[in-house]
Amino acid sequence: MSTSKTPVARPPVTRLLHVDGLKAAAAQLIVLHHLSAYGPVAEAVEELLPALMAWAYQYGRMAVQVFLVLGGFLTARALSSQGQLLEGGWFSLLARRYQRLALPFMGAVLLTLACSALVARWLPELVPAQVGWGQLLAHAGLVHGVLGYEALTVGAWYVAIDLQLFALLAGVLAFSRGLALPRAWRRWIGPGLVAVLTAASLLVFNRDSALDNWGLYFFGAYGLGALVHWLGLLPQRRLGLMLLAALGLAALLLDFRERIALALATALVLAWQQRRHDAGLPLLLTPPRLQPLLAHLGTHSYALFLVHFPICLLINALFERHDLGDGWPGLMAMLAAWGLSNLAAVSFYRWIEQPAGRLRLGALLARLWPRTLRA
């Protein structure tokens, strides 16, 4: 007698190529920013292309705002895909997010420290003078910025802030789920509270740079992305986006910040492209033959963000060690660092980021804990 069951048909998953495109562009710009900011290679290329290097240094870092908006959009989509109440416990959701962020991050930190030991002789200004256990533990807990420790790799602040932002958004949704309100109200009170917190960040918290180690400072951009998702579920989508744009413009009129202008522009472009995606329209300016490349670059964007600085250290050390001079050799070294970083991201994603995301640490600890008690 056969015990096999007929498989349940599932709707095909359509990849969000517009999200891949934004992630890919932001990641590449951040790499360019860091290559323009550190080491003798940056100094050499600056003599050859001063305007480009000045632009990359000044504006490349602002691509983080794109990641913040996309992070809010994807988190809202994952936690409340159809506007439903949050499913699952807040702590378990936070633990899974921590695992996906922190394990690859600490792999990148250890790789950076290994490369720092190799290049310290030639690039003492780019490596930490000393590393203590407290500093390592603070990085592992993603609280290094809050506790005032020097970052051990570039972009460490963003990983810590991402976890705080996820915790805030999931916490608001968990809080709204527990309110004694009619179910129809409870469904939308969460997005409403997120909108209030977004406005508070844009109009108040983001104007105080002393708060830049805390998620509230960055929640404006993150919340814009989350609201783009929820507004896309409403019949009055256009009106909602107009109100969203009005909030962003009010924040800019109160205190113009280029990073907030970019976050608002990203949110509106994301809303436009998401509408095209929902309508089954093709992604603009992307020939079909380039779509696999776009998906590849989007998939590996976090790995690239984490792994490019060790590559930057090694290339700069080789450049300094062999005294390759200025100008064109520096440009060749920068292009090599950029290309090798993208190659390294593929291996980092395959061997570190993907396995880290598949781990089930909670289940593993549950199995080991009784054995520990019996030992």
Question: Digits of tens for pLDDT over the chain (375 positions)?
Answer: 344 444 333 344 478 999 999 999 999 999 999 999 999 999 999 999 999 999 999 999 999 999 999 999 999 999 999 888 898 899 999 999 999 999 999 999 999 999 999 999 999 999 998 899 999 999 999 999 999 999 999 999 999 999 999 999 999 999 998 887 877 777 789 999 999 999 999 999 999 999 999 999 999 999 999 999 999 999 999 999 999 999 999 999 999 999 999 999 999 999 999 999 998 887 767 778 888 999 999 999 999 999 999 999 999 999 999 988 778 999 999 999 999 999 999 999 999 999 998 887 655 544 555 444 344
Whether the CB-CB separation of 265 and 228 falls below 8 Å is answered with no
pLDDT at 10: 37
The token pair at 182 is 């009619």
pLDDT at 51: 96
The token pair at 57 is 């240094």
Q: CA torsion angle for 229, 235, 241, 244 (degrees, to 10)?
A: -80
In the chain, the amino acid numbered 121 is: R
Residue 191: closest CA among 205, 211, 177, 212? 177
Whether the CB-CB separation of 305 and 27 falls below 8 Å is answered with yes
Element at 358 (helix H, strand E) = helix 354-358
Phi-psi sector, 38: left (phi>0), alpha (psi -120 to 50), beta: beta
Rounded distance between C-alpha atoms, residue 51 and residue 186, angstroms: 52
pLDDT at 85: 86
CA angle 179, 185, 190 (to 5 degrees): 65
Rounded distance between C-alpha atoms, residue 97 and residue 89, angstroms: 13
pLDDT at 102: 97
Q: Is 203 helix (H, G, I), strand (E, B) or coil?
A: helix
Scan for tokens 């998906």, then name that residue. 295
Q: Tell me how crowded residue 79 is: count the other CB atoms within 10 A of its CB.
A: 21
In the chain, the amino acid numbered 188 is: W
Rounded distance between C-alpha atoms, residue 235 and residue 215, angstroms: 31
